[in-house]
């Protein structure tokens, strides 16, 4: 809410002043409903995956080798906390990263 935001803002500005750090006012944004930060969207309802990142993963080419599969699994692993049952999915996917697996 607005009061909490003002209190947090006051704390941050005081901390910056104490540490002799400065923020350029023209680059600051206040009272915005959501912000993108480190590949995530943060708003009043929590932290969410950026939809642009989901789209890029959705259209990722199908892996054709264990190495490519490992790359995809690593990328998906970054978002594990946003995917329900990810550990079960990853377990079966990890088997496909072994050298003797045939890809069609």
Nearest to 39 by CA among 56, 58, 60: 56
Confidence bin at 16 (pLDDT 50/70/90): very high
Confidence bin at 76 (pLDDT 50/70/90): low
Q: What is the pLDDT of residue 4?
A: 86
Residue 20, classed as helix, strand or coil, is coil
Domain ranges of the chain: 62-104
Model confidence pTM above 0.85:
no
Q: List the beta bridge partners of residue 49.
A: 40
Is residue 63 a contact partner of residue 101, using CB atoms and an 8 Å limit? Answer: no
Q: What is the pLDDT of residues 38-70, one digit of tens each?
A: 878 898 888 888 887 777 777 878 888 878 878
């Amino acid at each position: 809410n607005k009061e909490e935001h003002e209190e947090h803002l006051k704390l941050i500005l005081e901390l910056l002043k104490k540490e002799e750090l400065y923020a350029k006012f023209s680059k600051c944004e206040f009272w915005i409903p959501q912000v993108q930060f480190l590949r995530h969207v943060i708003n009043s309802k929590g932290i969410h995956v950026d939809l642009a990142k989901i789209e890029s993963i959705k259209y990722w080419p199908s892996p054709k080798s264990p190495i490519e599969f490992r790359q995809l699994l690593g990328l998906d692993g970054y978002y594990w906390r946003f995917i329900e049952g990810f550990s079960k999915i990853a377990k079966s996917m990890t088997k496909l990263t072994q050298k003797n697996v045939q890809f069609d």
